[in-house]
Structure 1
Amino acid sequence: MEEIKLIVENDPKSPIAETYRSIRTNLQFAGAGRELKYICFTSSVPGEGKSTTISNLALTLAQDGKKVLLVDCDLRKPVQHKIFGVINQGVTNCLAQDVPFAQVLHPEVFHNLDLLTSGPVPPNPSELIGSEKMDQLLQQIGEGYDYVLLDLPPVLAVTDAALLGNLADGVVLVVYSGMVTPEEVQEAKKRLQAGKANILGVVLNGVPRKHSGYGYGYGYYYYDYYDENHVKHTKKKAKSKE
Protein backbone atom coordinates (compact mmCIF):
# COMPACT_ATOMS: atom_id res chain seq x y z
CA MET A 1 0.00 0.00 0.00
CA GLU A 2 2.80 2.41 0.91
CA GLU A 3 4.41 1.71 -2.48
CA ILE A 4 1.29 3.06 -4.16
CA LYS A 5 1.12 6.08 -1.85
CA LEU A 6 4.70 7.09 -2.65
CA ILE A 7 4.23 6.74 -6.39
CA VAL A 8 6.58 9.66 -7.10
CA GLU A 9 9.40 7.47 -5.80
CA ASN A 10 8.15 4.04 -6.86
CA ASP A 11 6.87 4.90 -10.35
CA PRO A 12 8.37 8.30 -11.25
CA LYS A 13 7.49 8.05 -14.95
CA SER A 14 3.78 7.43 -14.37
CA PRO A 15 1.18 10.04 -15.35
CA ILE A 16 0.22 10.46 -11.70
CA ALA A 17 3.81 11.20 -10.68
CA GLU A 18 3.94 13.80 -13.44
CA THR A 19 0.77 15.36 -12.06
CA TYR A 20 2.41 15.79 -8.66
CA ARG A 21 5.26 17.59 -10.39
CA SER A 22 2.69 19.88 -12.02
CA ILE A 23 1.26 20.64 -8.58
CA ARG A 24 4.78 21.49 -7.44
CA THR A 25 5.16 23.94 -10.33
CA ASN A 26 1.82 25.59 -9.58
CA LEU A 27 2.73 26.04 -5.94
CA GLN A 28 6.03 27.63 -6.89
CA PHE A 29 4.17 30.06 -9.17
CA ALA A 30 1.70 30.78 -6.36
CA GLY A 31 4.61 31.95 -4.25
CA ALA A 32 5.97 34.34 -6.86
CA GLY A 33 6.62 37.71 -5.28
CA ARG A 34 5.85 36.58 -1.73
CA GLU A 35 7.05 34.07 0.80
CA LEU A 36 5.32 30.72 0.58
CA LYS A 37 7.10 28.47 3.04
CA TYR A 38 4.52 27.03 5.42
CA ILE A 39 1.83 25.25 3.40
CA CYS A 40 -1.05 23.28 4.92
CA PHE A 41 -2.95 20.49 3.18
CA THR A 42 -6.42 19.52 4.32
CA SER A 43 -9.71 18.15 2.98
CA SER A 44 -13.42 18.51 3.68
CA VAL A 45 -13.91 14.97 5.02
CA PRO A 46 -11.69 11.94 5.72
CA GLY A 47 -10.58 9.70 2.85
CA GLU A 48 -9.99 12.33 0.14
CA GLY A 49 -6.26 11.63 -0.19
CA LYS A 50 -4.72 14.66 1.51
CA SER A 51 -1.99 12.65 3.26
CA THR A 52 -1.03 10.81 0.06
CA THR A 53 -1.04 14.10 -1.85
CA ILE A 54 1.16 15.97 0.62
CA SER A 55 3.67 13.12 0.98
CA ASN A 56 4.14 12.85 -2.79
CA LEU A 57 4.35 16.62 -3.17
CA ALA A 58 6.98 16.75 -0.42
CA LEU A 59 9.01 14.22 -2.38
CA THR A 60 8.73 16.15 -5.64
CA LEU A 61 9.89 19.35 -3.95
CA ALA A 62 12.82 17.48 -2.40
CA GLN A 63 13.69 15.96 -5.79
CA ASP A 64 13.75 19.51 -7.16
CA GLY A 65 16.58 20.36 -4.78
CA LYS A 66 14.49 22.07 -2.10
CA LYS A 67 15.02 21.33 1.57
CA VAL A 68 11.63 20.14 2.82
CA LEU A 69 10.13 19.29 6.20
CA LEU A 70 6.88 17.30 6.24
CA VAL A 71 4.93 17.59 9.50
CA ASP A 72 2.00 15.34 10.43
CA CYS A 73 -0.38 17.63 12.31
CA ASP A 74 -3.29 15.22 12.14
CA LEU A 75 -3.15 14.35 15.83
CA ARG A 76 -6.26 12.18 15.67
CA LYS A 77 -5.57 9.80 12.78
CA PRO A 78 -1.93 10.25 11.78
CA VAL A 79 -0.60 8.23 8.83
CA GLN A 80 2.69 9.76 7.72
CA HIS A 81 4.71 7.44 9.99
CA LYS A 82 3.02 4.50 8.22
CA ILE A 83 3.64 5.90 4.75
CA PHE A 84 7.35 6.40 5.43
CA GLY A 85 7.78 3.41 7.73
CA VAL A 86 9.18 5.18 10.80
CA ILE A 87 8.40 5.22 14.52
CA ASN A 88 5.61 7.63 15.49
CA GLN A 89 7.29 10.21 17.69
CA GLY A 90 7.06 13.90 16.95
CA VAL A 91 4.68 16.81 17.42
CA THR A 92 2.87 15.69 20.58
CA ASN A 93 6.14 14.69 22.23
CA CYS A 94 7.38 18.24 21.68
CA LEU A 95 4.17 19.93 22.83
CA ALA A 96 3.15 17.76 25.78
CA GLN A 97 6.50 16.46 27.02
CA ASP A 98 8.86 19.29 26.00
CA VAL A 99 11.00 16.86 24.00
CA PRO A 100 13.44 18.82 21.79
CA PHE A 101 12.45 18.96 18.13
CA ALA A 102 15.81 17.58 16.99
CA GLN A 103 15.36 14.53 19.20
CA VAL A 104 12.17 13.34 17.47
CA LEU A 105 12.91 14.51 13.94
CA HIS A 106 13.31 11.82 11.28
CA PRO A 107 16.04 13.31 9.07
CA GLU A 108 16.54 12.36 5.44
CA VAL A 109 13.68 9.89 5.03
CA PHE A 110 14.52 10.72 1.44
CA HIS A 111 17.24 13.02 0.15
CA ASN A 112 16.37 16.63 1.12
CA LEU A 113 13.22 15.46 2.94
CA ASP A 114 12.89 15.41 6.74
CA LEU A 115 9.82 14.12 8.56
CA LEU A 116 8.22 15.10 11.86
CA THR A 117 5.43 12.65 12.63
CA SER A 118 2.49 13.39 14.91
CA GLY A 119 3.64 11.44 17.94
CA PRO A 120 1.26 9.53 20.23
CA VAL A 121 -2.43 10.47 19.85
CA PRO A 122 -3.29 12.86 22.73
CA PRO A 123 -6.60 13.23 24.60
CA ASN A 124 -6.74 16.96 23.76
CA PRO A 125 -5.59 17.46 20.13
CA SER A 126 -7.45 20.74 19.54
CA GLU A 127 -5.95 22.31 22.65
CA LEU A 128 -2.46 21.30 21.59
CA ILE A 129 -2.93 22.50 18.01
CA GLY A 130 -4.26 25.87 19.18
CA SER A 131 -1.65 26.39 21.86
CA GLU A 132 1.11 28.96 21.98
CA LYS A 133 3.56 26.06 22.11
CA MET A 134 2.40 24.96 18.66
CA ASP A 135 3.01 28.44 17.29
CA GLN A 136 6.49 28.45 18.83
CA LEU A 137 7.23 24.97 17.47
CA LEU A 138 6.29 26.02 13.94
CA GLN A 139 8.61 29.02 14.14
CA GLN A 140 11.44 26.84 15.43
CA ILE A 141 11.14 24.02 12.90
CA GLY A 142 11.07 26.36 9.91
CA GLU A 143 14.72 27.28 10.24
CA GLY A 144 16.85 25.74 7.52
CA TYR A 145 13.98 24.63 5.27
CA ASP A 146 12.69 25.97 1.97
CA TYR A 147 9.26 24.43 2.58
CA VAL A 148 7.40 23.19 5.64
CA LEU A 149 4.36 21.13 4.61
CA LEU A 150 1.69 20.49 7.26
CA ASP A 151 -0.74 17.57 7.00
CA LEU A 152 -3.93 18.74 8.76
CA PRO A 153 -7.14 16.91 9.74
CA PRO A 154 -10.28 17.34 7.59
CA VAL A 155 -11.98 20.72 7.97
CA LEU A 156 -15.55 19.53 8.50
CA ALA A 157 -14.59 16.85 11.02
CA VAL A 158 -12.68 18.95 13.57
CA THR A 159 -11.55 22.54 14.18
CA ASP A 160 -7.80 21.87 13.94
CA ALA A 161 -7.41 22.88 10.29
CA ALA A 162 -9.07 26.25 10.89
CA LEU A 163 -6.87 26.82 13.95
CA LEU A 164 -3.62 26.12 12.10
CA GLY A 165 -4.57 27.52 8.71
CA ASN A 166 -3.99 31.14 9.65
CA LEU A 167 -0.50 30.36 10.97
CA ALA A 168 0.63 29.13 7.55
CA ASP A 169 1.43 31.07 4.39
CA GLY A 170 -1.23 29.14 2.51
CA VAL A 171 -3.68 26.24 2.56
CA VAL A 172 -4.43 23.72 -0.20
CA LEU A 173 -7.75 21.87 -0.10
CA VAL A 174 -7.77 18.30 -1.44
CA VAL A 175 -11.11 17.22 -2.93
CA TYR A 176 -11.84 13.66 -4.02
CA SER A 177 -14.07 13.59 -7.09
CA GLY A 178 -17.54 12.26 -6.33
CA MET A 179 -16.94 11.83 -2.60
CA VAL A 180 -18.14 15.23 -1.41
CA THR A 181 -20.84 17.61 -2.56
CA PRO A 182 -20.15 21.16 -3.78
CA GLU A 183 -21.96 22.36 -0.64
CA GLU A 184 -19.53 20.48 1.59
CA VAL A 185 -16.56 21.96 -0.24
CA GLN A 186 -18.07 25.44 0.07
CA GLU A 187 -18.58 24.91 3.80
CA ALA A 188 -14.96 23.78 4.18
CA LYS A 189 -13.85 26.88 2.31
CA LYS A 190 -15.99 29.12 4.56
CA ARG A 191 -14.50 27.61 7.70
CA LEU A 192 -10.97 28.10 6.45
CA GLN A 193 -11.73 31.69 5.48
CA ALA A 194 -13.37 32.29 8.86
CA GLY A 195 -10.07 31.23 10.40
CA LYS A 196 -8.32 33.77 8.14
CA ALA A 197 -6.52 31.09 6.13
CA ASN A 198 -5.02 31.99 2.77
CA ILE A 199 -6.51 29.40 0.40
CA LEU A 200 -4.07 28.79 -2.44
CA GLY A 201 -6.26 26.43 -4.42
CA VAL A 202 -7.66 22.92 -4.73
CA VAL A 203 -6.23 19.57 -5.71
CA LEU A 204 -8.99 17.60 -7.45
CA ASN A 205 -8.18 13.99 -6.72
CA GLY A 206 -9.48 10.67 -8.01
CA VAL A 207 -10.78 11.89 -11.36
CA PRO A 208 -11.65 8.79 -13.44
CA ARG A 209 -9.36 8.13 -16.38
CA LYS A 210 -10.17 5.96 -19.37
CA HIS A 211 -7.76 3.19 -20.36
CA SER A 212 -5.73 3.61 -17.18
CA GLY A 213 -3.64 0.79 -15.81
CA TYR A 214 -3.99 2.19 -12.30
CA GLY A 215 -6.79 1.68 -9.85
CA TYR A 216 -6.93 5.32 -8.86
CA GLY A 217 -7.47 8.54 -10.69
CA TYR A 218 -5.54 11.42 -12.10
CA GLY A 219 -5.13 14.56 -9.98
CA TYR A 220 -5.31 18.15 -11.13
CA TYR A 221 -4.54 21.47 -9.49
CA TYR A 222 -6.76 24.51 -9.80
CA TYR A 223 -6.65 27.95 -8.23
CA ASP A 224 -9.95 28.81 -6.53
CA TYR A 225 -11.59 26.07 -8.58
CA TYR A 226 -14.57 25.78 -6.26
CA ASP A 227 -15.84 29.33 -6.40
CA GLU A 228 -19.55 30.11 -6.24
CA ASN A 229 -19.94 30.33 -10.01
CA HIS A 230 -18.38 26.91 -10.51
CA VAL A 231 -20.64 25.34 -7.89
CA LYS A 232 -23.74 26.81 -9.56
CA HIS A 233 -22.50 25.58 -12.95
CA THR A 234 -21.90 22.10 -11.52
CA LYS A 235 -25.43 22.01 -10.13
CA LYS A 236 -26.93 22.96 -13.49
CA LYS A 237 -24.95 20.26 -15.27
CA ALA A 238 -26.01 17.68 -12.71
CA LYS A 239 -29.68 18.57 -13.16
CA SER A 240 -29.45 18.39 -16.93
CA LYS A 241 -28.28 14.78 -16.69
CA GLU A 242 -31.19 13.65 -14.51
Structure 2
Amino acid sequence: MSQSPNNQARHLISVTNPKSPISEAYRTLRTNISFSAIDEDLKVIMVTSSGPGEGKSTTVANLAVTYAQSEKRTVLIELDLRKPTVHKTFNLSNRVGISHVLTKQAALEEVIQDTAIPNLSAITAGIIPPNPSELVGSKALGSILDQLKEQFDQIIIDTPPVLALTDAQLISTHCDGVVLVAEAGKVKRSALLDAKERLQIVKARIVGVVINNAKRKAKDDYYYYYYGEEEK
Protein backbone atom coordinates (compact mmCIF):
# COMPACT_ATOMS: atom_id res chain seq x y z
CA MET A 1 0.00 0.00 0.00
CA SER A 2 1.15 3.53 -0.68
CA GLN A 3 1.79 5.93 2.18
CA SER A 4 0.67 9.49 2.61
CA PRO A 5 3.73 11.67 1.90
CA ASN A 6 2.91 13.93 4.84
CA ASN A 7 2.67 11.07 7.31
CA GLN A 8 5.79 9.43 5.98
CA ALA A 9 7.81 12.64 6.20
CA ARG A 10 6.62 13.33 9.71
CA HIS A 11 6.90 9.87 11.19
CA LEU A 12 9.16 7.65 9.13
CA ILE A 13 12.54 9.31 8.77
CA SER A 14 13.99 5.78 8.78
CA VAL A 15 12.35 5.44 5.36
CA THR A 16 12.62 8.95 3.93
CA ASN A 17 16.20 9.60 5.04
CA PRO A 18 17.83 6.34 6.17
CA LYS A 19 21.33 7.87 6.20
CA SER A 20 20.44 10.68 8.60
CA PRO A 21 21.86 10.80 12.16
CA ILE A 22 18.35 10.31 13.54
CA SER A 23 17.82 7.16 11.48
CA GLU A 24 21.19 5.90 12.67
CA ALA A 25 20.09 6.57 16.25
CA TYR A 26 17.02 4.37 15.71
CA ARG A 27 19.28 1.61 14.41
CA THR A 28 21.50 2.06 17.46
CA LEU A 29 18.41 1.73 19.65
CA ARG A 30 17.53 -1.53 17.89
CA THR A 31 21.06 -2.85 18.37
CA ASN A 32 21.22 -1.85 22.02
CA ILE A 33 17.92 -3.57 22.71
CA SER A 34 19.27 -6.75 21.15
CA PHE A 35 22.48 -6.62 23.19
CA SER A 36 20.76 -5.70 26.46
CA ALA A 37 20.04 -9.41 26.95
CA ILE A 38 22.54 -11.45 24.96
CA ASP A 39 21.38 -14.79 26.37
CA GLU A 40 17.67 -14.01 25.91
CA ASP A 41 15.48 -13.39 22.91
CA LEU A 42 13.66 -10.08 23.39
CA LYS A 43 10.99 -10.96 20.87
CA VAL A 44 8.16 -8.79 22.22
CA ILE A 45 9.07 -5.14 22.85
CA MET A 46 6.63 -2.44 23.89
CA VAL A 47 7.20 1.30 23.63
CA THR A 48 5.54 3.70 26.04
CA SER A 49 6.05 7.07 27.75
CA SER A 50 5.20 8.64 31.07
CA GLY A 51 2.73 11.09 29.52
CA PRO A 52 1.29 12.12 26.14
CA GLY A 53 3.08 14.11 23.47
CA GLU A 54 6.59 12.80 24.09
CA GLY A 55 7.18 11.20 20.69
CA LYS A 56 6.21 7.66 21.64
CA SER A 57 4.30 6.81 18.48
CA THR A 58 6.97 8.28 16.21
CA THR A 59 9.62 6.26 18.04
CA VAL A 60 7.69 2.99 17.90
CA ALA A 61 6.99 3.35 14.16
CA ASN A 62 10.60 4.07 13.27
CA LEU A 63 11.87 1.33 15.57
CA ALA A 64 9.60 -1.18 13.84
CA VAL A 65 10.91 -0.01 10.46
CA THR A 66 14.53 -0.52 11.51
CA TYR A 67 13.79 -4.09 12.63
CA ALA A 68 12.17 -4.76 9.26
CA GLN A 69 15.15 -3.20 7.48
CA SER A 70 17.40 -5.70 9.27
CA GLU A 71 15.44 -8.42 7.44
CA LYS A 72 13.47 -9.53 10.48
CA ARG A 73 9.84 -10.38 9.90
CA THR A 74 8.31 -7.68 12.08
CA VAL A 75 4.78 -6.85 13.17
CA LEU A 76 3.76 -3.58 14.80
CA ILE A 77 0.68 -3.82 17.03
CA GLU A 78 -1.41 -0.79 17.99
CA LEU A 79 -2.54 -1.22 21.60
CA ASP A 80 -3.03 2.47 22.30
CA LEU A 81 -6.70 1.81 21.67
CA ARG A 82 -7.96 5.24 22.73
CA LYS A 83 -5.64 7.32 20.52
CA PRO A 84 -4.40 5.04 17.72
CA THR A 85 -1.89 6.33 15.17
CA VAL A 86 -0.48 3.27 13.38
CA HIS A 87 -3.14 3.23 10.67
CA LYS A 88 -2.46 6.91 9.91
CA THR A 89 1.32 6.53 9.92
CA PHE A 90 1.28 3.62 7.47
CA ASN A 91 -1.86 4.65 5.59
CA LEU A 92 -3.74 1.46 6.44
CA SER A 93 -7.38 0.59 6.88
CA ASN A 94 -8.64 0.66 10.47
CA ARG A 95 -11.93 -1.05 9.68
CA VAL A 96 -10.91 -4.10 11.67
CA GLY A 97 -8.03 -4.41 14.11
CA ILE A 98 -6.77 -5.86 17.35
CA SER A 99 -9.89 -4.81 19.28
CA HIS A 100 -11.98 -7.04 17.02
CA VAL A 101 -9.72 -10.02 17.72
CA LEU A 102 -9.75 -9.39 21.48
CA THR A 103 -13.57 -9.33 21.41
CA LYS A 104 -13.72 -12.38 19.11
CA GLN A 105 -15.31 -10.43 16.26
CA ALA A 106 -12.49 -11.26 13.86
CA ALA A 107 -9.76 -13.84 13.41
CA LEU A 108 -6.13 -12.84 13.84
CA GLU A 109 -5.34 -13.53 10.17
CA GLU A 110 -7.97 -10.99 9.14
CA VAL A 111 -6.30 -8.04 10.88
CA ILE A 112 -2.64 -8.52 9.90
CA GLN A 113 -1.89 -6.02 7.12
CA ASP A 114 1.20 -5.63 4.96
CA THR A 115 2.75 -2.17 4.94
CA ALA A 116 4.73 -0.52 2.16
CA ILE A 117 7.89 -1.47 4.08
CA PRO A 118 9.35 -4.88 3.18
CA ASN A 119 9.21 -7.36 6.11
CA LEU A 120 6.88 -5.07 8.11
CA SER A 121 3.27 -5.93 8.90
CA ALA A 122 0.92 -4.04 11.17
CA ILE A 123 -2.18 -4.66 13.25
CA THR A 124 -4.22 -1.51 13.71
CA ALA A 125 -6.44 -0.72 16.69
CA GLY A 126 -9.83 -1.25 15.07
CA ILE A 127 -12.90 0.22 16.73
CA ILE A 128 -12.38 2.10 19.99
CA PRO A 129 -13.91 -0.21 22.61
CA PRO A 130 -15.70 1.02 25.75
CA ASN A 131 -13.40 -1.06 27.96
CA PRO A 132 -9.80 -0.93 26.60
CA SER A 133 -8.15 -1.75 29.93
CA GLU A 134 -10.23 -4.89 30.33
CA LEU A 135 -9.37 -6.01 26.82
CA VAL A 136 -5.60 -5.56 27.06
CA GLY A 137 -5.66 -7.14 30.52
CA SER A 138 -7.43 -10.27 29.32
CA LYS A 139 -5.86 -13.66 28.72
CA ALA A 140 -6.75 -13.28 25.06
CA LEU A 141 -3.84 -10.89 24.50
CA GLY A 142 -1.34 -13.47 25.68
CA SER A 143 -2.82 -16.04 23.32
CA ILE A 144 -2.66 -13.60 20.40
CA LEU A 145 1.00 -12.82 21.08
CA ASP A 146 1.82 -16.53 21.28
CA GLN A 147 0.33 -17.00 17.81
CA LEU A 148 2.24 -14.02 16.42
CA LYS A 149 5.52 -15.37 17.82
CA GLU A 150 5.10 -18.33 15.48
CA GLN A 151 4.75 -16.04 12.46
CA PHE A 152 7.16 -13.17 13.15
CA ASP A 153 10.73 -12.67 14.31
CA GLN A 154 9.96 -9.42 16.15
CA ILE A 155 6.83 -7.98 17.73
CA ILE A 156 6.69 -4.26 18.52
CA ILE A 157 3.79 -2.81 20.53
CA ASP A 158 2.59 0.78 20.84
CA THR A 159 0.88 1.39 24.19
CA PRO A 160 -0.73 4.34 25.98
CA PRO A 161 1.36 6.46 28.40
CA VAL A 162 2.06 4.79 31.72
CA LEU A 163 0.80 7.52 34.05
CA ALA A 164 -2.46 8.18 32.23
CA LEU A 165 -3.85 4.64 32.28
CA THR A 166 -3.23 1.14 33.58
CA ASP A 167 -3.09 -0.28 30.04
CA ALA A 168 0.70 -0.06 29.67
CA GLN A 169 1.29 -1.87 32.96
CA LEU A 170 -1.09 -4.66 31.93
CA ILE A 171 0.46 -5.02 28.47
CA SER A 172 4.01 -5.04 29.86
CA THR A 173 3.35 -8.33 31.64
CA HIS A 174 3.24 -9.99 28.21
CA CYS A 175 6.43 -8.34 26.93
CA ASP A 176 10.11 -9.26 27.05
CA GLY A 177 11.20 -5.65 27.32
CA VAL A 178 9.95 -2.07 27.63
CA VAL A 179 11.35 1.07 26.02
CA LEU A 180 10.37 4.29 27.79
CA VAL A 181 10.26 7.50 25.72
CA ALA A 182 10.75 10.89 27.38
CA GLU A 183 10.90 14.35 25.85
CA ALA A 184 13.85 16.44 27.00
CA GLY A 185 12.79 19.68 28.65
CA LYS A 186 9.16 18.58 28.96
CA VAL A 187 8.89 15.54 31.18
CA LYS A 188 9.68 16.04 34.84
CA ARG A 189 12.15 13.70 36.47
CA SER A 190 9.53 12.82 39.08
CA ALA A 191 7.07 11.73 36.36
CA LEU A 192 9.70 9.59 34.67
CA LEU A 193 10.62 7.94 37.96
CA ASP A 194 6.93 7.39 38.74
CA ALA A 195 6.45 5.70 35.36
CA LYS A 196 9.49 3.51 35.99
CA GLU A 197 8.20 2.49 39.41
CA ARG A 198 4.76 1.61 38.08
CA LEU A 199 6.30 -0.63 35.44
CA GLN A 200 8.58 -2.28 37.96
CA ILE A 201 5.62 -3.01 40.25
CA VAL A 202 4.36 -5.45 37.62
CA LYS A 203 7.92 -6.71 37.09
CA ALA A 204 8.26 -5.18 33.63
CA ARG A 205 11.78 -5.20 32.25
CA ILE A 206 12.83 -1.71 31.18
CA VAL A 207 15.55 -2.22 28.59
CA GLY A 208 16.15 1.44 27.90
CA VAL A 209 15.03 5.05 27.82
CA VAL A 210 14.85 7.17 24.67
CA ILE A 211 15.41 10.88 25.27
CA ASN A 212 13.51 12.67 22.53
CA ASN A 213 14.01 16.25 21.31
CA ALA A 214 17.42 16.56 22.96
CA LYS A 215 19.48 19.24 21.21
CA ARG A 216 22.67 17.80 19.78
CA LYS A 217 23.92 20.52 17.47
CA ALA A 218 22.54 23.86 16.43
CA LYS A 219 21.58 22.48 13.03
CA ASP A 220 19.68 19.52 14.49
CA ASP A 221 16.02 19.91 15.36
CA TYR A 222 15.97 16.82 17.50
CA TYR A 223 17.88 13.67 18.23
CA TYR A 224 17.32 10.34 19.91
CA TYR A 225 19.57 8.84 22.52
CA TYR A 226 19.49 5.42 24.07
CA TYR A 227 20.45 4.72 27.63
CA GLY A 228 20.72 1.29 29.16
CA GLU A 229 18.61 0.43 32.15
CA GLU A 230 19.86 1.95 35.37
CA GLU A 231 21.45 -0.39 37.83
CA LYS A 232 19.26 -1.11 40.80
Same fold (TM over 0.5): yes
Deviation at residue 10 of structure 1 after TM alignment: 0.5
Distance 1:80 1:34 in 2: 28
Partner of 1:224: 229
* In structure 2, C-alpha distance between the alignment counterparts of 1:109 and 1:160, rounded to whole Å: 29
Residue 136 (str. 1) matches residue 143 (str. 2): yes
Which TM-score applies when normalising by structure 2? Answer: 0.93
Give 2:3's aligned residue.
Answer: none
For residues 83 and 108 of structure 1, do their structure 2 counterparts lie closer, same or farther at Cα, with a shift above 3 Å needed? closer
Corresponding residue to 1:96 among 77, 99, 103: 103
Q: 2:88, 2:178 → 1: CA distance?
A: 23
Q: Aligned partners of 1:137 and 1:181: how far apart in 2?
A: 35
What SS is found at the alignment partner of 1:110? coil
Distance in 2, matches of 1:35 and 1:4, equals: 31
Q: Bigger CA drift: 180-189 or 100-109?
A: 100-109
User: What do residues 21-40 of structure 1 show as CA deviations (whole Å, max 9, x unaligned)?
Assistant: 11111111123111210001
1:239 is aligned to none
1:59-93 alpha-carbon deviations (Å, 9 max, x no partner): 11111111111101101101010000111121101
**Alignment partner, residue 164 of structure 2:** 157
Aligned counterparts of 1:33 and 1:118: Cα–Cα separation in 2: 33
Name 1:72's counterpart in structure 2: 78
In the alignment, which residue of structure 2 is the partner of 1:49?
55
* Residue segments in structure 1 that go unaligned for 5+ positions in a row: 229-242
Work out the CA distance in 1 between the residues paired with 2:122 and 2:37.
Answer: 23
Question: For the residues of structure 1 that align with 2:72 and 2:36, how far apart are their CA atoms?
Answer: 16
Equivalent residue, structure 2, for 1:120 = 127
CA distance in 2, matches of 1:222, 1:160: 24
Runs of 4+ in 1 over 4 A off after TM superposition: none
Indicate the SS of the match to 2:33.
helix
1:42 counterpart SS class: strand
Once the two structures are superposed, residues 153-187 of structure 1 have per-residue CA deviations (whole angstroms, 9 ceiling, x without a partner) of 00000000001111111111011101111100000
The runs of 5 or more residues in structure 2 that have no matched partner are 1-5
Q: Is 1:10 aligned with 2:31?
A: no
Q: Give the match for residue 238 of structure 1.
A: none
Give the Å deviation of 1:190: 0.5
Q: What residue number does 1:232 align with?
A: none
Equivalent of 2:198 in 188, 191, 214: 191
Let me know the Cα RMSD of the aligned residues. 1.4
Paired residues in the alignment total: 225
1:86 aligns with one of 86, 92, 102? 92
Looking at CA atoms only, which structure, 1 or 2, has the larger radius of gyration?
1
Tell me the SS of whatever aligns to 2:180.
strand
- Counterpart of 1:234 in structure 2 is none
Quote the offset at 1:108 in angstroms: 4.2
- Is 1:107–2:114 an aligned residue pair? yes
Could you say what secondary structure the match of 1:118 adopts? Answer: coil
Separation in 2 of the partners of 1:28 and 1:224?
Answer: 13
| 1:40 partner letter | M
Normalised by the size of structure 1, how large is the TM-score?
Answer: 0.89
Summarize deviations over 1:185-218 as a string: whole Å, max 9, x none.
0000010001111111101111023332x5x410
